[in-house]
Amino acid sequence: MVTSHDIDKALFRSFKAQFVKPSVPLVGHTYIGGMVYNGDRLLNSTAEDITVRTLSLSGDGFPQDALVNVNVYVPDIVEHGGGYVRDGARLAVLSKAVTDFIETLEYPNAELAVEAVTEIAVEPIHQHYLNFRLRLTVYHYMTSN
Protein backbone atom coordinates (compact mmCIF):
# COMPACT_ATOMS: atom_id res chain seq x y z
CA MET A 1 0.00 0.00 0.00
CA VAL A 2 1.08 3.54 -0.78
CA THR A 3 0.20 6.25 1.73
CA SER A 4 -0.56 9.91 1.16
CA HIS A 5 2.72 10.60 3.00
CA ASP A 6 4.63 8.56 0.37
CA ILE A 7 3.02 10.56 -2.44
CA ASP A 8 3.59 13.94 -0.77
CA LYS A 9 7.23 13.10 -0.04
CA ALA A 10 7.97 11.99 -3.62
CA LEU A 11 6.31 15.04 -5.19
CA PHE A 12 7.83 17.42 -2.63
CA ARG A 13 11.33 16.17 -3.44
CA SER A 14 10.73 16.45 -7.18
CA PHE A 15 9.35 20.00 -6.99
CA LYS A 16 12.05 21.15 -4.57
CA ALA A 17 14.81 19.84 -6.85
CA GLN A 18 13.25 21.56 -9.86
CA PHE A 19 12.12 24.95 -8.52
CA VAL A 20 14.28 25.93 -5.51
CA LYS A 21 17.40 27.77 -6.67
CA PRO A 22 20.57 25.78 -5.93
CA SER A 23 23.84 27.43 -4.92
CA VAL A 24 24.89 27.26 -8.58
CA PRO A 25 21.66 27.88 -10.56
CA LEU A 26 21.24 26.74 -14.15
CA VAL A 27 21.11 29.56 -16.69
CA GLY A 28 17.66 30.00 -18.20
CA HIS A 29 15.96 27.81 -15.58
CA THR A 30 12.74 28.90 -13.86
CA TYR A 31 13.10 29.09 -10.08
CA ILE A 32 10.73 30.40 -7.43
CA GLY A 33 11.73 33.08 -4.94
CA GLY A 34 10.51 31.13 -1.93
CA MET A 35 10.27 27.51 -0.82
CA VAL A 36 8.53 24.25 -1.61
CA TYR A 37 6.44 22.93 1.29
CA ASN A 38 5.19 19.43 2.01
CA GLY A 39 1.72 20.46 3.20
CA ASP A 40 1.08 23.97 4.50
CA ARG A 41 3.33 26.94 3.88
CA LEU A 42 4.31 29.45 6.54
CA LEU A 43 1.36 31.69 7.45
CA ASN A 44 3.35 34.89 7.09
CA SER A 45 5.01 33.99 3.78
CA THR A 46 4.82 36.65 1.08
CA ALA A 47 7.20 34.81 -1.27
CA GLU A 48 6.68 32.69 -4.33
CA ASP A 49 6.06 29.29 -2.78
CA ILE A 50 4.86 25.87 -3.86
CA THR A 51 2.84 23.53 -1.65
CA VAL A 52 2.14 19.84 -2.24
CA ARG A 53 -0.68 17.97 -0.50
CA THR A 54 -2.56 14.76 -1.22
CA LEU A 55 -6.29 15.34 -0.83
CA SER A 56 -7.53 11.78 -1.19
CA LEU A 57 -6.20 8.28 -1.77
CA SER A 58 -8.18 5.13 -2.46
CA GLY A 59 -7.93 2.24 -0.02
CA ASP A 60 -6.75 -1.35 -0.09
CA GLY A 61 -5.04 -2.92 -3.05
CA PHE A 62 -3.71 -1.69 -6.34
CA PRO A 63 -4.32 0.30 -8.40
CA GLN A 64 -4.72 3.21 -6.01
CA ASP A 65 -6.06 6.58 -7.15
CA ALA A 66 -4.94 9.82 -5.55
CA LEU A 67 -6.00 13.41 -5.98
CA VAL A 68 -3.18 15.87 -5.25
CA ASN A 69 -3.10 19.67 -5.02
CA VAL A 70 -0.01 21.58 -6.02
CA ASN A 71 -0.36 25.30 -5.29
CA VAL A 72 2.02 27.88 -6.76
CA TYR A 73 1.86 31.25 -4.96
CA VAL A 74 2.84 34.52 -6.65
CA PRO A 75 2.84 37.92 -4.88
CA ASP A 76 0.77 40.67 -6.48
CA ILE A 77 2.45 43.77 -7.90
CA VAL A 78 2.13 47.05 -6.00
CA GLU A 79 0.70 49.80 -8.21
CA HIS A 80 1.87 53.42 -8.01
CA GLY A 81 -1.38 54.42 -6.29
CA GLY A 82 -0.80 51.91 -3.50
CA GLY A 83 -3.17 49.22 -4.77
CA TYR A 84 -2.30 45.72 -5.89
CA VAL A 85 -2.70 43.92 -9.20
CA ARG A 86 -2.01 40.27 -10.04
CA ASP A 87 1.35 39.52 -11.60
CA GLY A 88 -0.06 37.95 -14.75
CA ALA A 89 3.32 37.67 -16.46
CA ARG A 90 4.86 35.72 -13.57
CA LEU A 91 1.76 33.54 -13.20
CA ALA A 92 2.03 32.67 -16.91
CA VAL A 93 5.74 31.81 -16.65
CA LEU A 94 5.25 29.58 -13.61
CA SER A 95 2.10 27.98 -15.04
CA LYS A 96 4.03 26.90 -18.12
CA ALA A 97 7.09 25.79 -16.13
CA VAL A 98 5.05 23.72 -13.67
CA THR A 99 2.87 22.17 -16.39
CA ASP A 100 5.94 21.25 -18.45
CA PHE A 101 7.62 19.81 -15.37
CA ILE A 102 4.61 17.70 -14.39
CA GLU A 103 4.50 16.27 -17.91
CA THR A 104 8.12 15.10 -17.50
CA LEU A 105 7.68 13.50 -14.07
CA GLU A 106 7.96 9.75 -14.13
CA TYR A 107 7.49 7.48 -11.18
CA PRO A 108 7.85 3.73 -11.66
CA ASN A 109 4.49 1.96 -11.47
CA ALA A 110 2.48 5.21 -11.48
CA GLU A 111 0.83 7.64 -13.90
CA LEU A 112 0.44 11.36 -13.19
CA ALA A 113 -1.79 13.78 -15.08
CA VAL A 114 -3.00 17.36 -14.68
CA GLU A 115 -6.75 17.26 -14.15
CA ALA A 116 -7.34 21.03 -13.81
CA VAL A 117 -5.57 24.33 -13.24
CA THR A 118 -7.34 27.19 -11.46
CA GLU A 119 -6.11 30.67 -10.53
CA ILE A 120 -7.26 31.91 -7.12
CA ALA A 121 -6.83 35.31 -5.45
CA VAL A 122 -5.70 35.51 -1.81
CA GLU A 123 -6.76 39.08 -1.04
CA PRO A 124 -5.58 39.40 2.59
CA ILE A 125 -1.94 38.74 1.65
CA HIS A 126 -2.05 40.27 -1.86
CA GLN A 127 -1.18 37.11 -3.75
CA HIS A 128 -2.65 34.86 -6.39
CA TYR A 129 -1.99 31.16 -6.65
CA LEU A 130 -2.30 28.54 -9.31
CA ASN A 131 -3.98 25.38 -8.07
CA PHE A 132 -2.88 22.33 -10.06
CA ARG A 133 -5.19 19.40 -9.40
CA LEU A 134 -3.32 16.21 -10.22
CA ARG A 135 -4.63 12.69 -10.68
CA LEU A 136 -2.14 10.00 -9.70
CA THR A 137 -2.78 6.31 -10.36
CA VAL A 138 -0.41 3.97 -8.55
CA TYR A 139 -0.21 0.44 -9.97
CA HIS A 140 2.34 -0.88 -7.52
CA TYR A 141 4.52 0.63 -4.79
CA MET A 142 5.77 4.05 -5.99
CA THR A 143 9.39 5.12 -5.77
CA SER A 144 10.80 8.50 -6.79
CA ASN A 145 13.62 8.92 -9.29
Q: pLDDT digits over 66-80, tens only?
A: 999 999 999 999 988
pLDDT at 141: 65
Measured on CA atoms in the order 44, 28, 92, 116, is the torsion positive or negative?
Answer: negative
pTM: predicted TM-score of the whole model, two decimal places: 0.91
Q: Which residues of the chain have pLDDT under 50?
A: 145
For the chain, the domain total comes to 1
The CATH number that applies at residue 72 is 3.30.70.1700
pLDDT at 143: 54
- For residue 104, the enclosing domain spans 4-138
Taking the chain, what is the end-to-end CA distance rounded to the nearest angstrom?
19
